[in-house]
Amino acid sequence: MMKTLLLFMLVPVLLSGCSTRWVKIRDNPTDHVTSRTLCRVSAEQRFPVRNEVINRTNYRTVTEPCNYKRWCGGKKYRTYEVEEFQSYVTDVNDGSRNSSYRDCMWDNGWQQQTKSNWEWDRTPMTLQYTGPAK
């Protein structure tokens, strides 16, 4: 009962939707398109894409029927851990590059804000730039 109630309360929140927009933080910011281009180039020069392979070992618990109870301590099922190796590629400079980009945009008079869609409807259009976040 409690799980069902929690689910019905959580679904509308998840479906309400949020979006991110760049908003002016001062009266005379640098043109948004110009700022976006300059900041992107600057951030990519300072923190170029640097992909590295990450290796990780996970352990998964496996439970299976036991055919010979004497091997399983008299139990019907036996449980054991299985190693799973994962490798994936990640850009180790991604966080620094994004932070540099946001700092540059701030210096040019813009701030990225995330709001629910109904909150944006109340914000005057003169303060919003509704183009791409990057």
Contact assessment for residue 104 and residue 22, using Cβ atoms and an 8 Å cutoff: no
Residue whose C-alpha is closest to residue 24's, from 13, 38, 35, 14? 35
Residue 36, class by beta-carbon neighbours within 10 Å (0-12 exposed, 13-18 middle, 19+ buried)?
buried
Tokens 């183009």 correspond to 131
What is the C-alpha separation between 119 and 21, in angstroms, rounded?
A: 12
Per-residue pLDDT in tens (0 to 9) along the chain, 134 residues: 666 655 566 556 555 567 788 889 888 999 999 999 999 999 999 999 999 999 999 999 998 888 776 777 778 888 889 999 999 999 999 999 999 999 999 999 999 888 766 555 555 544 444 555 55
Query: Are the CB atoms for 67 and 78 separated by under 8 Å?
Result: no
Q: What is the pTM for the complete model shown?
A: 0.60
